[in-house]
A and B are shown apart, each in its own frame.
Chain A
Amino acid sequence: MERRTFLTTAAIGAATAATGVSVPALAQGKKAVIGVSIPSATHGFMGGLNWHAQETIKRLKTTYPNLEFVLATAGAVGKQVNDIEDMVATRNIDALVVLPFESEPLTSPVKAVKDAGKWVTVVDRGLSQPGIEDLYVAGDNTAFGRVSGEYFKANLKPGAKIVVLRGIPTTLDNERVDAFQAAIAGSGIEILDMQHGNWNRDKAFQVMQDYLSKHKKIDAVWAADDDMAIGVMEAISQAGRQKEMWIVGGAGMKEIIKRVMDKDPQIPVDVSYTPAQISTALEVTALRFVSNTPVYGRFIIGSTLITAENAAQFYFPDSPF
């Protein structure tokens, strides 16, 4: 599914619902409170996600005066659990939109919200027990790795040598890397090295410096994240080896998208994994309270290869990400 198209549809649907006064699920005068719990903006992707969340909440509030949002960002699992408990206890929320910091520890607190009869939307990272949430909106990590791997397979000759930067060791990272490896299997591409760059520019810069010291010939880099891609680029230009290799990042940071648009030979493509999925989750959840649109189910936002041709539709110059 293509994200932008979906968003447009949802927005139109919502607008119709608002203007047409078509039997809202809510009694007149009573406000619906939607709790939003997401991790705090500790790195680029989450920063983007926070921005999208805030922007969407602003927009939805203006459109639907009878919706109220409670946004809480958490820097740690424990804090997120507390946030959710507080929302139920003190703000009497009608719905919860949550991006779990980690799946396991958040499962039972979220289940408690559901058991209290609230609406639950889970974003990006699934809970460890199926069937709790009413709505699931997520990116596709396997597709993210697979799309990247397919690009490498199609654009490198057998025997080509690549290096990989991994993120913070998590299930999510494993899914991506496994899918990437599966996608390049049998292509004859050799992975020289695979180290953790922790989705951090500085760390990626240092890891890449060391790769460059260690390996005389590198044909391509899978940086797996646009923040890391920026650190990698700097290390390569410091070594003066820009001509030797190209880089694929991921997630759709505006600077990187811009380079793809501008046909930078170092960054031929990017792979989408959009922080705007939180907007989708919020909009769809809002629909539940302002219209009768049936919104149950799972929305998996696939990862798309961003090329010079389609880059424009992934480019948000105003987003901090």
Chain B
Amino acid sequence: MSDLTRSDAPRPSVAARLPGLSALGPLLALILLVALGATLNENFLSAGNITNVLARSAFIGMIAVGMTFVITSGGLDLSVGSMAAFIAGVMILGMNALLPSMGVGLPLVLAGMGIALGVGLLAGLGNGLLVTKARIEPFIVTLGTMGIFRSLVTWLADGGTISLDFGVRQFYRPVYYSGLFGIAWPIIVFAIVAVAGQIAMRHTRFGRYCEAIGSNDKVALYSAVNVERIRLMTYVLLGLLVGLATIMYVPRLGSASGSTGMLWELEAIAAVIIGGTALKGGYGRVWGTVIGVLILSLIDNILILADLVSPYLNGTIQGVIIVLAVVLQRGKSSSA
């Protein structure tokens, strides 16, 4: 029998080691979009426009990175958009309330950031506990909390808008609008989150466990993986990232209302799926998610820059591109 072993020894081929074409589908779509944008408008590749697109992608982007882990482990979170609005509301109210005692300055802004991360953590923990301990379907849990967060922020705002004190806002504003070496802060933070996310997914136990649980949670359970804790952690991580996104979002317009973060959850989920993560879980690709987010932002940007179609049809173009991006991967992977 041992001689058979030798002859059957694994012989990895070079082709097998390269990432398949299907994996590069979203990247290809992104490159095509950039090329399209560049031919349609000469300002497309200007530093200003690129900064705009990247910076506005940052919020959804950070959230989508967190969403990648939730979806990879077989979960879903529909509440992130409302959660962002709620966190923004609480953060602004908190900062306004602390203003008389703390005055405008770094401590106040840090306190605001602390509030945002704290509320995000608690919100994520709430979702996670309902999913893992109460064993309710994530879809239902987060559909519920989506409504709860949304109505809470509307209530906090009295149906209107919660605005950050003008003086504080002036001080806090640079967190969105300025940056380091000409790169805006939201872009820097998003890049850090994305790189850390990619490493966590590929090179840590947490990422590996997320994939295992999403692939088959029974196998994970039988393999001594603390399934509940990992699931809980994905929701907490997502909550924290929503908090982080909110920290970058609030200085942009300095306000929160019932319409803040509307449909962010769907954009984040769409970005994750476009990026090649399986909606049913089991396989996650953080860099793909980043590309997905960029694709979504770019479509919007190009449609406005280019005057290609009636604005009524923007949604159609977006929908077609989203479906195409996914079909592109699917088609290639099944033939491979």
Contact = CB atoms under 8 A, between A and B. Distances in A.
Interface in A208-225: 209-214
B300 interface: yes
Given A195-B311, A234-B252, A255-B163, A211 B304 contact: yes
Nearest to B151: A40
A103 to B, nearest CB: 19
Nearest to B305: A214
Given A210-B52, A238-B177, A195 B304 contact: yes
The listed residue with most B CB atoms (<10 A of its CB), out of A42, A169, A210, is A210
B159 A210 contact: no
A41 interface: yes
Nearest to A318: B158
A48 B258 CA distance: 12
A320 B160 contact: yes
B253 A230 contact: yes
A200 B154 CA distance: 15
Given A41-B258, A196-B311, A201-B255, A46 B159 contact: yes
Interface in A1-55: 40-44, 46-48, 50-51
Nearest to A50: B159
Given A47-B154, A47-B161, A213 B255 contact: no
A307 interface: no
Interface stretch (B42-50, B111-119, B198-206): B42-50
Contacts of A213: 43-44, 46, 48-49, 52, 305
A47 B304 contact: no
A321 B160 contact: yes
B132 interface: no
A40 B163 CA distance: 20
The listed residue with most B CB atoms (<10 A of its CB), out of A47, A169, A194, A239, is A47
Task: Give the secondary structure class of A's interface.
Answer: helix
A230 B159 contact: no
B157 interface: yes
Contacts of B44: 213
B41 interface: yes
A210 B160 contact: no
A194 to B, nearest CB: 7
Contacts of A210: 49, 52, 300-301, 304-305
B259 interface: yes
Contact of B159 (A41, A196, A201): A41
B181 interface: no
B262 interface: yes
Interface string B229-271: 0000000000000000000000011010111101000000000
Contacts of B311: 166, 194-196
A44 B262 CA distance: 14
A231 B300 CA distance: 17
A244 to B, nearest CB: 15
A177 B288 CA distance: 40
A198 B280 CA distance: 32
Contacts of B41: 214
B157 A47 contact: yes
A320 B161 CA distance: 6
Nearest to B249: A202
A207 interface: yes
A234 B253 contact: yes
Contacts of B46: 213
B161 A214 contact: no
B275 to A, nearest CB: 21
Given A166-B311, A200-B262, A210-B304, A205 B161 contact: no
5 contacts: A43-B258, A193-B304, A201-B253, A202-B260, A214-B41
Given A44-B257, A50-B159, A201-B260, 4 more contacts: A41-B258, A196-B311, A210-B301, A320-B158
